[in-house]
Structure 1
Amino acid sequence: MEALRKIKVYPKIGLIILAFIAFISLGMPDGLLGVAWPSIRTSFSIPLDAIGMLLTASVAGYLTSSFLSGPLISRWGVGSVLAASCAMTGLGLIGYTLVPVWWMMVVLGILAGLGAGAIDAGLNTYVAAHFGEGLMQWLHASYGIGVTLGPIIMTIALTTLNSWQVGYRVVGGFQVAVAACFVLTLAMWNQNDTSVADDKPKRLTDYKTPMGETLLQPRVWLSVLLFFLYVGAEVSLGTWTYSLLTESRGVDPAIAGLFAGSYWATFTLGRMAAGLYAKRVGVNLLVRGSLIGALLGAVLLVWNPSEWTNLLAVALIGFAIAPIFPAMMSGTSERVDAHFAANTIGLQMAAAGLGSAIIPSFLGILARQISLEVIPIGMVVAFGSLFGLYLLADTSKLKA
C-alpha cells in the first residue's frame, strides 16, 4: 500500500511542475506589453492611449473564457482545456508580429485573452481542489516569475535586435510548447480529476446560493470593488512604468527596462516571502501593511528626487503589493460569509479583469491629454482608496 502511494506521488509532482510552468507562461505576456508599447505604437503609427483598445479586447476574451471555464472543464477535462488555452494564447501572441495593421492585432488580443482566462481559471480551480492554499501561494509566485521575465525578454529583443516582434515570438513559442506538454499529459490530468476524496470537509463551492441573492449583499460589491481597484493599479504601474521613465523622465531605455523589470522581480519575491509568513501575520494585517508600503512607494515615485529613486519606488511598490491579491482572495469568506463566497470569488475575478483594462486605459487617456506624470499620481490615489475601502470592508464585516 505504501509503495502504491509513492507511485501516485510522482505524477502529481509532474503536474504541479507543469502547472507552475504554465503560470510562468501566463505572466510573460503581461510583462511584455509595457516595455514593447512605445515600439508597437511607432510601428502602427497609433496614439499613446490606443493601448486601451488592445487591453479591452484581451480582457473581453479573458472574461468570456473565465465564465465558461467550469462547463468546459466538466465536459472536456482540465488537461484538454489547458492544452487548447495555451495553444490559443501562443498563436495569438505570434499573430501580433505578423499582422500589417493595428485593428488585426486588437482582434488577436481577443484570442490571446480567451486562452489566458481559461488557463488562469483552470489552474486556480485545479490547484484549489487538489492541493490546498499553500501550493496556491507558490502558484501565484510563479506568475510573478513569468511577469518578471517578460520585460527582460522584451528589453533584450529591443536593445540587441531592435525588434519588439522577436520578444512576442519567443513568448508565443514558449506557450505553444507548454500546450504540447499538456497534450502529452492528458491522461494524468484526467486521472487526477476523479481522485478527489468524498470525505473532505464542506467546501465553499458546495454552497448553492443563488447569484441574485449574492448580488443583493453590499459587502459583496465592496469586495468586488477592492479587486477592481487593486488589479487596475497593479497592471497600470506595470504597463506605464517604462513609458513614464523613457518618455517623461528621460531615462535610458536599457536602464528603464531594468527598472520596469524590478517591479515584477520584487513582486515575485514578495509573493514567495508571503507564502512563508502569511499565516503567522494574518490576512488583515498583511493587506493593511502592504497597502501602506505601496502608498509610500507611490509617493516616492511622485516626488522623484533622482533617477535612481525611481528604481527604489518601483521595487518597493512591487514588493509591497505582492501578497494583496492572494490574501484578499483567501479572506473572501470572512468578508462576505461562506454562503456567498463562491459566487463572490467569480465576481472578483471578473472585476479584476475589468480593472486591468479600464484603469490602465483611463490613465493612458489622462497621460495623453495632460502628461505621463499623472501615472504616479494615479497610483497614490488608487492605493489610498484601496486602504480606505479595505478598512470599510473590515468594518462592514464586523457589523454583519
Structure 2
Amino acid sequence: MYSLLLALIYISFISLGLPDSLLGSGWPVMHEAFGVPVSYMGIVTMVISGCTILSSLVSDKLTTKFSTRIVTVVSVFLSALSLLGFSFAASFWMLIVFSVPYGLGAGAIDAALNNYVALHCSSRHMSWLHCFWGVGTIVSPFVMSYAITASSWNSGYRIVSYIQFGIGVLLLLT
C-alpha cells in the first residue's frame, strides 16, 4: 500500500511539472497568435507565480481543513481546467484569466505534497519527488514541439490538459 501511495504522489508531481515548461516552449508562437510582444510572457508568468505563492501560503489551512488527498485532487483538476482554458484562449487577456486558477492549483499541490512527504517519508523519497517534477518539465516541451509541428500551440495545452484530467481521475479513484 505504501508503494502505491508513493507512486501516486510521484505521478502527482509529474503532473505538477508538466505545465511548468509549456509556456516557455510555446510562447514564441503564442505571442504572434495573440499579437502581443514577446515580453508579455512575463505578465502571464507573474500572475501564475503570484497565485502559486498565495496558494502555497494558505495550503496548510486547506490541508488541515480538507486533507492532503482532497487538496491534491482538486488542485490537479484546477490545473487541468486551466490548461484546457489556455488551449481555447482566443486573446491575451484570456490567458491572464486562466493563469489565476492554474497558479492556485500549482501552489496548493506543491506545498501539500511536499509537506506530506516531509512528514511521512524519508529524505530519499523527497529527492525522488522532485526528480519526478523534473520529468514533467522535461516531457512537456516535447509535447508542445510535437503539437506545434502537427497542429498548433493550442493542441500542446490541450494534450497536457487531457493528461492532467487522466491523473486527476486516477487520484480520485484511488
Give the TM-score range, shorter chain. over 0.9
Q: 2:145 corresponds to which residue?
A: 155
Aligned to 2:153, which of 150, 164, 167? Answer: 164
Q: 2:162 corresponds to which residue?
A: 173
Deviation beyond 4 Å, 4+ runs, structure 1: none
Matches within 5 A, 1:303-382: none
> TM-score, structure 2 length as denominator?
0.97
Matches within 5 A, 1:157-306: 157-161=147-151, 163-185=152-174
Displacement, 1:160?
Answer: 2.1
Q: 1:138 corresponds to which residue?
A: 128
Displacement, 1:61?
Answer: 1.3
Aligned to 1:42, which of 25, 29, 32? Answer: 32
Displacement, 1:52?
Answer: 1.1
1:95 aligns with 2:85: yes
- Max Rg structure: 1
1:122 aligns with 2:112: yes
Instruction: State the superposition RMSD in angstroms.
Output: 0.9
% identical equivalent positions = 37
Distance 1:137 1:48 in 2: 35
Q: 2:53 corresponds to which residue?
A: 63
Answer 1 or 2: which has greater helix percent. Answer: 2
> TM-score, structure 1 length as denominator?
0.43
Distance 1:140 1:63 in 2: 18
Distance 1:65 1:180 in 2: 22
Distance 2:89 2:153 in 1: 13
Counterpart residue type for residue 110 of structure 1 = V
**Which runs of no fewer than 5 residues in structure 2 stay unpaired?**
none
Distance 1:19 1:169 in 2: 23
Displacement, 1:174?
Answer: 1.2
Distance 2:88 2:155 in 1: 11
1:364-397 CA-partner distances (Å, limit 9, x unpaired): xxxxxxxxxxxxxxxxxxxxxxxxxxxxxxxxxx
Counterpart residue type for residue 17 of structure 1 = A
Q: 2:101 corresponds to which residue?
A: 111
Q: 1:234 corresponds to which residue?
A: none
Counterpart residue type for residue 79 of structure 2 = T
Name which structure has the greater RCO, CA cutoff 8 Å, separation 6+: 2
1:188-208 CA-partner distances (Å, limit 9, x unpaired): xxxxxxxxxxxxxxxxxxxxx
Counterpart residue type for residue 103 of structure 1 = W
Contact 1:27/1:147 (<8 A) preserved: yes
Distance 2:21 2:46 in 1: 17
What secondary structure does 1:19 align onto?
A: helix
1:74 aligns with 2:68: no
Counterpart residue type for residue 149 of structure 1 = V
**Which runs of no fewer than 5 residues in structure 1 stay unpaired?**
1-10, 186-400
Distance 1:182 1:25 in 2: 11
1:63-106 CA-partner distances (Å, limit 9, x unpaired): 11101110110111110000000000010011011122111111
Distance 2:59 2:170 in 1: 20
Distance 2:24 2:128 in 1: 25
1:20 aligns with 2:10: yes
Distance 1:81 1:62 in 2: 14
The aligned length equals 174
